[in-house]
């Protein structure tokens, strides 16, 4: 099992905007390079991309949570 980490500290969002569906749900398979969340840093939104393909088994953060740099945000089953 591996994890996806943040590259920037800030506030994490699992959907592109409040009304939209999440980028990815737990249990779904994702491709390398796919956006799985946004991190808001000083009012800028930065995409969090998967660095490898696999099944995303679990998110470790909630929508709107604070995240630190290099924090694990999701678990991936390769």
Residues that bind other proteins (CB under 8 A): 8-11, 17-20, 40-44, 64, 66
Q: How far apart are CA 2 and CA 12, in angstroms?
A: 19
Q: How far is the CB of 41 from other proteins (least distance, A)?
A: 4
Q: How far is the CB of 3 from other proteins (least distance, A)?
A: 20
Q: How far is the CB of 4 from other proteins (least distance, A)?
A: 18
Q: How far apart are CA 70 and CA 68, in angstroms?
A: 6
Closest CB to other proteins among residues 4, 6: 6
Closest CB to other proteins among residues 13, 59: 13
Strand ranges, E, within 1-78: 2-5, 10-13, 29-30, 35-41, 44-49, 54-59, 66-67, 72-77
């Amino acid at each position: 099992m591996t994890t996806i980490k943040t590259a920037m500290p800030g506030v994490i969002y699992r959907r592109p905007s409040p009304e939209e569906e999440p980028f990815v749900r737990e249990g779904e398979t994702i491709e390398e390079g796919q956006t799985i969340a946004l991190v808001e840093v000083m009012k800028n939104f930065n995409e969090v991309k998967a660095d490898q393909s696999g099944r995303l088994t679990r998110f470790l953060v909630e929508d709107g949570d604070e995240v630190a740099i290099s924090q694990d945000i999701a678990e991936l089953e390769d």
